[in-house]
Amino acid sequence: MEPDRDLEMHVQTRSGIIAWVGSNIIPFEGELRAWLRRMRISEDEIEDVVQDAYLSITKLSSVAHINSGKNYFFQTAKMALFQRLRRERIVPIDRLVEIEALKVADVAPDPEVRTSARMELERVRRLIAALPERCREIFELRRIEGVPQREIAARLGLPEHTVEQQAARGLKLILKAIAMEDAACEARSQRPKEMPSGARRG
């Protein structure tokens, strides 16, 4: 990772990149984690690799050149994994070779297999529906209906900072759920036995 970061990238359209990450990277996080898990990477390592991948995305100055967010995400994660494994020497070298042999192209989506808008909407709704009562209410108002935070506070008769606290709590749960989501799907469909049992990293 470059310690000396180009200031130029910050001047670029940050909000545009954040929105792009929201629609092109976030939806595939669960899948990426499942992919890493299949390579028997430990949950702790997976967490680090995913973090590294997001960190390198913050260094992007533009996303215009990226055709497939998913492909890019997997590729970035793979690079992060290599760097980590080389640095920490935590796996025997033959495993490294084995991982290196995995082609990211193999996991790339068919251009046709883009999730439909409606499926995506259902997924977003599902994520929000799983939140505890108060959080869920706030998220529905803010994210689905687009009510400003101040007005949500007024409607619910709560101080604004309470709404903000609840929203932050909800987002933290959502972030967890995003990490778990595809893992759960996959457990149901593909590999019922291999799911890591018990709690994830404590």
- Contacts with another protein by CB under 8 A lie at 1, 10-16, 18-19, 21-23, 25-27, 47, 51-58, 64, 111-112, 114, 116-118, 120-121, 124-125, 127-128, 139, 142-151, 160, 164, 167-169, 171-172, 174-175, 178, 201
For residues 107 and 74, the answer to whether their CB atoms sit within 8 Å is yes
* C-beta closer to another protein: residue 35 or 73: 73
Min CB(176)–another protein separation in Å:
8
* C-beta closer to another protein: residue 79 or 102: 79
* C-beta closer to another protein: residue 154 or 184: 154
Min CB(193)–another protein separation in Å:
28
Min CB(101)–another protein separation in Å:
27
* C-beta closer to another protein: residue 23 or 190: 23
Distance of CA 128 to CAs 22, 183, 191, Å?
15, 18, 27
For the chain, the 3-state helix, strand and coil shares in percent, each to the nearest 5, are: 70, 0, 30
Min CB(189)–another protein separation in Å:
22
Rounded to whole angstroms, the Cα distance separating 28 from 179 reads 9
Rounded to whole angstroms, the Cα distance separating 141 from 69 reads 29
Please count the CA atoms within 13 angstroms of the CA of 54 that sit on its side-chain side.
14
Min CB(82)–another protein separation in Å:
18
Min CB(192)–another protein separation in Å:
28
* C-beta closer to another protein: residue 129 or 184: 129
Nearest to 31 by CA among 198, 194, 184, 195: 184
Rounded to whole angstroms, the Cα distance separating 150 from 161 reads 9
User: Backbone phi, then psi, for 52, in 5-degree steps?
Assistant: -60, -40
Rounded to whole angstroms, the Cα distance separating 19 from 75 reads 20
* C-beta closer to another protein: residue 55 or 90: 55
